[in-house]
Amino acid sequence: MRDEPTLPKYLFVRTFLRIAGPLVVAAGVYCLYQGISRFGDFGPAFYETPKYMFAGIPLLFVGIVMSVSGYAGAAARYQASQMAPVATDVINYVGEGTRDGVKAVASAIAEGISEGVAGGHAHVAGEGEAGVVHCPKCNTPNAAGANFCTQCGQALPRPCECSACGKTNEAGAKFCNGCGNRLR
């Protein structure tokens, strides 16, 4: 049907369906009508009912299918031609989305790992920064809680509690970070 040479054939079939479909529907309706009209007769014609019904129902069904095929064919083709790019876009979008999603997840995992690692380092470093006591004499960073500098033996300042607000300030702090009170 996509080939142009077959288009006339398609048109012929469609035209046939458009003409024959309703005719078959009409025939089916006629048969059903005949059957139903005989249903009320309690004469010999009553027994004609099943015959007409059995003939009418398939005719009606086939006729409707033919009509729908004939008339909806063009619409379906039109829709198909209209929908195809959309569908392609959707598929591409979904594909890209999935790819991006996978990328995002992968990068998130990678970031998470690197952040976890870096964060761990940062955390340690931060702890180091916060917990480090720089020697007042040689400026060597010493572990928090150390009493003496590992490099020069200088007595290291201890974390001190603010006499005004009671907040514990890091070793060597000159002013309280809680209230600004001068320490020592």
Distance CA 78, CA 76 (A): 5
Among 86, 138, 143, 155, binds Zn ion (CB under 5 A): 138
19 versus 179: smaller Cβ distance to Zn ion? 179
Q: Which residue has the tokens 């509690």?
A: 161
18 versus 167: smaller Cβ distance to Zn ion? 167
Q: Is 164 in the site for Zn ion (CB under 5 A)?
A: yes
Distance CA 182, CA 176 (A): 6
Among 24, 66, 171, 176, binds Zn ion (CB under 5 A): 176
Adjacent-strand bridge partners of 161 = 168
Q: Is 165 in the site for Zn ion (CB under 5 A)?
A: yes
| Angle, CA of 150, 154 and 155, to the nearest 5° | 105
Shortest reach from residue 175's CB to Zn ion, in Å? 8
Q: Is 155 in the site for Zn ion (CB under 5 A)?
A: no
Q: Is 133 in the site for Zn ion (CB under 5 A)?
A: no
Among 96, 114, 178, 182, binds Zn ion (CB under 5 A): 178
Nearest to 149 by CA among 161, 131, 158, 137: 137
C-alpha count within 13 angstroms, C-beta hemisphere, residue 168: 6
C-alpha count within 13 angstroms, C-beta hemisphere, residue 19: 5
Interface region with Zn ion, contact rule CB under 5 A, candidates 21-29, 78-86, 88-96, 150-158? 150-158
| Interface residues toward Zn ion, by CB under 5 A | 135, 137-138, 140, 149, 151-152, 154, 162, 164-165, 167, 176, 178-179, 181
